[in-house]
Chain A
Amino acid sequence: MKSFTKVKSIVTPFDQVNVDTDQIVPKQFLKLIQKSGFGKYLFYNWRYDSNEQPISDFVLNDSKYQNSKIFVTRDNFGCGSSREHAVWALQDFGFSVIIAPSFSDIFYSNCFKNGLLPIQLDSKIVDSIMNSNSEIEVDLESQTITTDFQTISFEIDPHKKKVLLEGLDDILLTLEYENKITDFEKKSNVPSVL
């Protein structure tokens, strides 16, 4: 996984609550067996009309946000299906940071496995960030967001922060505890399903 340090860009304001992963990547694109190339399917049913033409007033079709790396949205982002394709699509499209007042559990966890940084902030602060027209900077090391007017701190679990900063392989980290897993298996007696 690529390491994450700092990101500076304008924000893409996505002013909707309860955005579910069925919208982030519609089911017709879940049949692929690789992780790459999902950016073109991001919000597909909202981005394109029935003739596959871009819908002009949809925010991701606004050229102003073309190089944005920071996606700002509302409560309960990523609810519904566990599909990690949602994270792959946001990332492949160019986003590195998602800011929202709350996230759905599985989506939140999936972000960290792919180097996408989800930041949870009070909804009033999210409001102010959503309305900012100039670039903001997100610095994971110092856990701060800097806008023209203020510096905002955010919380993140230290283990998750380390994994993102160093781009660590989660599985490799867990394998350091392999002896403990083996010990656990010796005392547990779960029936086989083979």
Chain B
Amino acid sequence: MSKTLFEKIWDSHIVVEKENGPSLLYIDRHLVHEVTSPQAFEGLRMNKRKVRRPDLTIATMDHNVPTNDRSLPIIDQTSSIQIKTLEKNCQDFGINLFDIDSPYQGIVHVIGPQLGITLPGTTIVCGDSHTSTQGAFGALAFGIGTSEVEHVFVTQALWLEKLKPFEIRVEGKRKNPFAVTAKDIILSIIKKIGTAGGTGTVIEYTGEGITDLSMEQRMTICNMSVEAGARAGLIAPDEKTFDYLRGRKYTPENFDELVSVWKKDLYTDPNAKFEKSFTLKIDDIVPQVSWGTNPGMTSDVTDTVPDPKEFAKGDLAQQKSAEKALQYMDLKAGIPITEIQIDRVFIGSCTNARLEDLIDASRVVKGKKVSEKVSAMVVPGSQMVKKQAEKIGLDKIFKDANFEWRESGCSMCLGMNPDILSPGERCASTSNRNFEGRQGVGGRTHLVSPVMAAAAAIAGRFVDVREMDLN
């Protein structure tokens, strides 16, 4: 029988199957961070249980960690407790931890692939919705809640209702692939299908618009699958995938053997049926800027802030939500996106803080200065990204332009550490969520690509990066 890639991975991980019920699925990789794990570890202690497979589990601290000088103590007591709790828990339960001083520390979804922990055809979970990032490698990777974290600790398996395969075909070629990025592709998709368009599904991205992308760009696409409501995003592995993973810290020794198996297995059969499908043509898409309080509220940079009534197309609840969004964002319908002035720029997060993101942004920034009204920062996704970037002098380019160059972590994507917006501040951000208060209570977030964020930092407002002079 013809199967989709998702169904192949699913079927090969079934431990117990029940008729008309959930299946017990084996989990190959469990990634752990400090925010969603303490209660799960506590559950283990209360019930005198152990972690079944510490050898398939890794942990790092990313959400809370300060991004300034790491030799200084952590000032926020509650953050400090959460970080110390993870250290103790990993020690007590025998889990490999990349702590704040480790050269491998970083955002969990950035380090997974960089360390070769993320492998095609595997099942990967983490108490974090953006686990979907790792689907770019042809892995079934998804976020779970803390109770499920505890469940995976004890059983290395998870009960799951079968998700529905959803094909999103990305066709065509971008005219200016430097300025129109993977971020613009995924924002365009979410704008079209809505933030609940993928609920109950696993999206498989196909088409030349996807195969043309590098691995890092594919991760940006899969990362935001959850913003379209999907549990996971998936891209069939190809030579780019295998080349990326070859020779990394945890890449298996029999890698070439595995590659030949993956090539035989890991693709959607030609006649396989998806339960849903959507096609995006990307020949004419342009840079995107979000204007509202969910990622579906996004416009072309060449466009204006929409009228809530037109935006909602007759759906009253959506109209009300768009009106509320404009009020929160302090924006009026009809103003050009390029007239929106900004106060802050954040280049970071599991969506866009990998090396290529920083290289591209640095090309926009090089030889220029951040607008005097703007405070801008770059937060590399991991210590490995930071080191690679410094090796090729990106830190100097950013610092010369008056960007702050920070240590790695989730930082201002969700502001659990001191990197937050003040009430009323407006930020061009390369992160994934523009929810109210996400980057700080009262803060206003506009989602953009790294090159668009860099351009906005220089201009002090949104500009079409296609029109910038590049060095």
Contacts and interface: CB of A to CB of B under 8 A. Distances in A.
B276 to A, nearest CB: 15
B56 to A, nearest CB: 6
A30 B36 CA distance: 8
Interface residues of B, number: 80
A33 B155 contact: no
Contacts of A157: 21-22, 161
A158 B161 CA distance: 12
A81 B231 CA distance: 11
Contacts of B26: 181, 184-185, 188
A155 to B, nearest CB: 12
Contacts of A102: 196, 199
Given A23-B435, A74-B317, A82-B127, A171 B151 contact: yes
Given A22-B438, A84-B146, A177-B15, A33 B82 contact: yes
A124 interface: no
A142 interface: no
Given A20-B435, A76-B199, A175-B155, A109 B148 contact: yes
B39 A35 contact: yes
B151 A170 contact: yes
B150 interface: yes
B154 interface: yes
A190 B55 CA distance: 10
Contacts of B433: 20, 22, 80-81
Range class of the A interface residue count: 35 or more
B78 to A, nearest CB: 4
Interface string A2-45: 00000000000001111010110011101111110000000001
Interface of A: 15-18, 20, 22-23, 26-28, 30-35, 45, 50, 74-76, 79-84, 87, 102, 104-106, 109-110, 113-114, 157-159, 170-171, 174-175, 177-178, 180-181, 184-185, 188, 190-194
3 residue pairs, one from A and one from B, having the closest CB atoms: A113-B147, A33-B38, A110-B145
Given A159-B18, A177-B24, 5 more contacts: A15-B317, A17-B318, A20-B435, A157-B161, A193-B115
Interface of B: 15-16, 18, 21-22, 24, 26, 28-29, 35-36, 38-39, 42, 47, 49, 52, 54-58, 63-64, 76, 78-79, 81-82, 85, 96, 115, 117, 119, 122, 127-129, 143-148, 150-151, 154-157, 159, 161, 163, 195-196, 199-200, 226-227, 229, 231, 250, 252, 294, 317-318, 320-321, 324, 414-416, 423, 433, 435-438, 441-442
